[in-house]
């Protein structure tokens, strides 16, 4: 793949939809400095800038991938708006909030996105916790099957089960346990927030 020096916004969107690594890398590198500058000008560190930025890129990426994004502005404006909103939230939590941020760019309202972002964030976090609580061998079994998409055959071999049906039963048991763990953690999180 030849190296492309410049992606237009449309090219970037197309590249991301096609899961092209180069598009993602370009997107990431191109927009980070602006966010770093913004966060540092508003009482933030480099690490915080990186966190906020990655959150925003993930949000953007996922929305492109499941085609739920209606982009009416430039990509950089969208990313800036998300980062700005996330940073405001962080500042409020840190009690370091003076009431206003110094903007370095124009932004769009993203309140609706914020609710969605928070919900997804909660799900992600709780699933991670549930998997940890699941323990072995369930965790690896579930991950292999549902995330890695490994075949029944290879899993049976890997785990040393006698046959596929056995594996299926194990998988069922693990999944039920995960379901219970996840729902209880998630409901606790929802009700406490």
150 makes contact with other proteins (CB under 8 A): no
| CA–CA dist 94, 89 (Å, integer) | 9
46 makes contact with other proteins (CB under 8 A): yes
Q: How far is the CB of 175 from other proteins (least distance, A)?
A: 7
DSSP labels for 35-97? HHHHHHTTT--HHHHHHHHHHHHHHHHHHHHTT-----S-HHHHHHHHHHHHHHHHHHHHT--
- Kindly provide the b/e burial profile for residues 146-163, where b requires at least 16 CB atoms within 10 angstroms of the residue's own CB: eeeebeeeebbeeeebee
127 makes contact with other proteins (CB under 8 A): yes
Nearest to 35 by CA among 83, 88, 89: 83
Q: How many residues bind other proteins (CB under 8 A)?
A: 40
Q: How far is the CB of 176 from other proteins (least distance, A)?
A: 8
54 makes contact with other proteins (CB under 8 A): yes
97 makes contact with other proteins (CB under 8 A): no
98 makes contact with other proteins (CB under 8 A): yes
146 makes contact with other proteins (CB under 8 A): yes
How many CB atoms are closer than 10 A to CB 169?
11
With contact defined as beta carbons under 8 Å apart, do 93 and 149 qualify?
A: no
23 makes contact with other proteins (CB under 8 A): no
Tell me which residue has tokens 């903007």: 103
| CA–CA dist 116, 129 (Å, integer) | 20
Options 11, 14, 34, 58; binder of other proteins; rule CB under 8 A: 58
182 makes contact with other proteins (CB under 8 A): yes
Report the residue number, 54 or 104, with the smaller CB distance to other proteins.
54
Q: How far is the CB of 18 from other proteins (least distance, A)?
A: 15
Q: What is the binding site for other proteins (CB under 8 A)?
A: 21, 24-25, 28-29, 32, 40-46, 50, 54, 57-58, 61-62, 96, 98, 120, 123-124, 127-128, 131, 142-143, 146-148, 168-169, 172, 175, 178-179, 182-183
């Amino acid at each position: 793949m030849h190296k492309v020096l410049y992606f237009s916004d449309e090219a970037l969107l197309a590249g991301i939809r096609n899961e092209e690594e180069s598009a993602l890398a370009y997107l990431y590198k191109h927009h980070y400095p602006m966010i770093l500058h913004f966060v540092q000008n508003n009482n933030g560190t480099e690490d915080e800038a990186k966190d906020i930025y990655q959150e925003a890129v993930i949000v953007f990426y996922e929305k492109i991938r499941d085609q739920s994004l209606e982009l009416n502005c430039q990509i950089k404006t969208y990313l800036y708006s998300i980062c700005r909103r996330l940073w405001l939230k962080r500042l409020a939590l840190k009690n370091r909030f003076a009431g206003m941020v110094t903007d370095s760019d124009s932004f769009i309202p993203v309140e609706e996105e914020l609710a969605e972002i928070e919900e997804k964030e909660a799900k992600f976090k709780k699933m991670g916790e549930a998997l940890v609580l699941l323990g072995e061998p369930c965790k690896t079994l579930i991950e292999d099957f549902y995330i890695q998409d490994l075949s029944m055959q290879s899993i049976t071999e890997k785990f040393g089960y006698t046959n596929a049906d056995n594996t299926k039963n194990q998988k069922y048991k693990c999944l039920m346990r995960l379901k219970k763990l996840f729902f209880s953690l998630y409901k606790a999180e929802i009700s406490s927030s």
